[in-house]
Amino acid sequence: MATFTIKNGLTGAVGEFEILESTMGAPVVNIAGLRSKLGAYTYDNGLGETATCQSSITYIDGAKGELLYRGYPIEELAQKKNYIEVCYLILHGELPDSGQYDRFEKDIRTKSYPHEGIKHLFNAFPDNGHPMAILSSAVSALSAFHHQHLNVSEEDEFMEMARRIIAKMPTLTAFTYRHSMGYPLIYPDMDRYFTENFLYMMRAFPTGKTEVKDVEVRALDKIFMLHADHEQNASTTTVRAVGSTGAHPYAAVVAGINALWGRAHGGANESVIAQLEMIGSVENVDTFIKRAKDPDDPFRLMGFGHRVYKNFDPRARVLKSLRDELRDTIGISSRLIEIADRVEQIALSDEYFVKRNLYPNIDFYSGTILEALGIRKKMFTPIFVIGRTVGWIAHLIEQKRDPKQKIYRPRQRYIGKVRRSVP
């Protein structure tokens, strides 16, 4: 057994800790018993150097710019598979055969209808409420309408719950959007594929034909796929933390939705569009690039660099190719895409950005694609929720299967007042 030796320089105590090998990536040091052996805790602000769990779902190599779902490269999945196939892969560990896919996809269609009573919830919200606030409330309400799953214990019950929430998330998201616009709510169409159905529910009206182009479906399908999971990010860690308490999976997913709402997480692509709007025109790009390079200017380019990737974000490569395909196929063009192209062109060739590994990330491209598809900026993060739901559920299932999983209870470095008496 390989071990890692740590010495406490204050007390002289020495402890040996087991090194656990990973199938890919760096090994980890199992520091269980650290306090009893050395009288100390670790301190890792932001948990960037800490593994809080074991997982077989997603692997990231930030230095190489590599992302694998269950061992499959994201680039190959995006090229050869659709989102529902990837959902099956993430949930079950293997890609489905034709029969498995047909049954799974049919079940997702069937479960896309919400309980009729949940529609009344939307009437309680102002139409100018943020969609993420409304969506998180709607998902929370699902537990009231599906109370028979409040004590999920069996594997088949958990999978039933998983398919239900994956299926209903696009419907609730479309309801959220249409409520904010003052439009009538549109039910799912059982004859449409998952992603086509979402665009239909966003765009349709009770009378008239709704056009949804195949290339639009493929574009949004890839965006869902690229967001399906991303290892132990902030929202997934939040889902696992809540799930570790034994809370119902819907409650854990709601916690993930609210964590994803943050500007530094799921709201980043919305911030990219807001910044492109602020830049205003291609002629202004050089000025803002200079500001981004000025250490005394607080301005920073949104959509560049990543906490994990120190190379090109592999998801960004897929979306860059997709955006170019959309431009060539249906001629999408906008002022914001022209500005984004100029920003990208400068940043990829400027030594300042290259030296600092500030490459465009997924948020830089996803926002401009969604904007070009006619999706409003305030809906960007709810669309992220649709894609990420399967990842959250897969992590909850994995956590449930782990007999060694404990409730999350981090420690802290206390820097407050020492013990004192009340006068």
d(CA 83, CA 101): 11
The reply to whether 296 belongs to the active site is: no
d(CA 220, CA 218): 6
Quick check: 360 and 299 in contact, CB under 8 A?
no
The reply to whether 227 belongs to the active site is: no
Quick check: 378 and 158 in contact, CB under 8 A?
no
DSSP secondary structure letter of residue 282: G
Phi and psi dihedrals of 53, rounded to 5? -165, 175
Quick check: 252 and 242 in contact, CB under 8 A?
yes
Angle (CA) 111 116 122, round 5°: 105
Phi and psi dihedrals of 157, rounded to 5? -70, -40
**Residue corresponding to tokens 């999706």:** 375
Name the catalytic one among 221, 229, 313, 363.
Answer: 363
Name the catalytic one among 229, 306, 313, 395.
Answer: 306
What does the CA dihedral 260, 266, 271, 273 come to, rounded to 10 degrees?
-140
Residue 380 CA: distances (Å) to CA of 198, 350, 387: 14, 29, 11
Which residues belong to the active site? 306, 363
